[in-house]
Structure 1
Amino acid sequence: MRYDTSPTARALLALEAIQDCPGITAQRLGEHLGVTERAARRYVAILREADLPIESATGPHGGYRVGRGLRLPPLMFTAAEALGLVMAVLEGHRGAADPTEIVGAALSKILRALPQQVAEPVRAVRRVNGPPPDPGLRVDPVLTARLVEACTSSRRVRLDYRLEDGRERPMEVDPWAVVLRHGRWYLLCWSRTSDAQRALRVDRVQSVFTTSLGFTPPQDLDALRTLEEHLSQGWRHEVDVLLRADLDEAGRWLPRSLGRLEEVDGGIRLRATTDEPDWYARQLAATPLTFEVRGSAALVQATEDLAARLVKAAGAADTAAPPGGMAGPARAGTTPEQQHTDNRSPRTRVITTGSGSPGPDPEER
């Protein structure tokens, strides 16, 4: 409790404490406010003078509590509390970022009621979000609030970061944005330690210290796009694919986390890297796009292996006689999924959409 806190602020804090802890004694209330027991009783008297129904009971189980008839007071949140609330809603409800959806509309009302210095960092997190994270990857709202505030104020931070092998590494970074993507909270930043762009997992940030040093963030930063492109680069195997499609069509079928798309003669070039060529081949095969794998021996091999599995599965389906007739070749113009529907054979369904990440922690590159 700050010593320069005004009497009005202390009275409101007293009300908040009584609401949060029904039966709180004058002694405990004084300790919470940082004042004497006598001063705590004075703040209770101020609340009663304002016609607030603060009841008290004597005895070993007595204390202060709010009686019936209290109208809802103005909401008071710290930056960490507000961010924790929004993070919990984003993690638990996919429509929370949409202000036209019922949960998103309720969240917007809360944000409008908050002071600007509290609401703006929270809005920054809400604007860039994705699917809810794994429950085991939940992050500390207090620590995350410090990161978001540093992003908003463009202040450099020093942090301790836990690497994948368990070692802790001190880092100095210029924080750009906190983003929820691929089920994880990331800090998109420029690492002064590595002199490179980084996407750090917030659940591995152990401590944060905000310095007085400012920085200039990238102009017109699209944090979500930048993060997804960053996550597609820096892995072990190169990816170079030519897509026979236009840019809009390729963008509709391929998430930005798979790589960078650029227009070239003959179609769209997809450039990326991956540690899981088999997984990457399945992502390409799951689209209706015609593509050609170039300049990546590991991905070429993974694509050939997948093709062989499909051919084998289709051949197995052709040799089995369907109900009411003899087996024959698959009808021309049908996809593997359509053949699966027609033949009712689970052996023909071999294309899956992976949900794994393209590799390990981005800081481990």
Structure 2
Amino acid sequence: MYSPTSRLLGVLELLQSRQHISGTELAQRLEIHPRTVRRYIQQLQDMGIPVEAERGIHGSYRLKPGQRVPPLLFTEQETLALSLGLLTIRELQFPVERSTTETTLAKIERVLPAGLVQHARALQAAISMQLGMRSRRIEPTWLMQLSLAVQRCQQVQIEYLSAIQILTERTIDAYGIVFNEGAWYLVGYCYLRMAIRVFRLDRIQAMQLLDSSFERPASIDIIAIVQSALNATDQPNEVEVLLKTTIEHARHIIPPAMGRLEATPHGVLLCRTAVHLEWVAFSLLELDIPVVVLQPAALRELLQAIATKALTMINDPAAPSN
């Protein structure tokens, strides 16, 4: 049985293969009613494909002379989803080279009708993203290999550097991957520890897929496992920051996931808990408003260390002067 989408593509294919084709012939070739042909033609025209109709007893349809449309078609909503998805991947600094997202966007534009090309370019030109986090850099090929291992229930062997700089070799049943607050985590059964463990992908030093497989547990919540592990190994910090702006402006520039906002006589109080203070610090530095860190002391110390490091970059007495 043909689907409406396959028939719509069939209409387009027949239009591209013939200089003229009548509605009757289209209906016969695709085994549909002539009124359905007219509906499909209208859909193609609404998508920006230049289909011309010649009226009359011997009327027919044709593509505008000199026009050929690739067989890959996207609707306006699909164009929106693809463009926003690629822009988000780029701004989140996911393990995909920026040039890859740019060339992918260019390839999508090449197969879009003119009207949708304008929509895609409008999205890219008009939208800026302030995501409030920085992603730790990981090896792109490892993320792909781990994803395949999860899908195939294939064991992996990794060399893992712990937070206290101890290097171990581990065999893992890879259950799933989680992106949380700027960091990537692998959840799996560790044969070294004989238990389910959570591993930061940026701490993996080497990795290879093994020929052996495993049976995935019937019910497992990998997000809950990551959150539980983070809360168990690192005491969450209570973050309180005073934003010197109005509550309306704060709601405009602060994403809901970044924390809870509360209006006060002195500004807007931003409150949340955070295991990793690094991404909180960089998120605050990117805000274009005055900010006062109230707590924790560890966040103030981290910002002081960042500031000291930044000053050494421009105040090196050994650097040659102009």
Q: TM-score range by the shorter chain?
A: 0.3 to 0.5
TM-score (normalised: structure 1) = 0.33
TM-score (normalised: structure 2) = 0.36
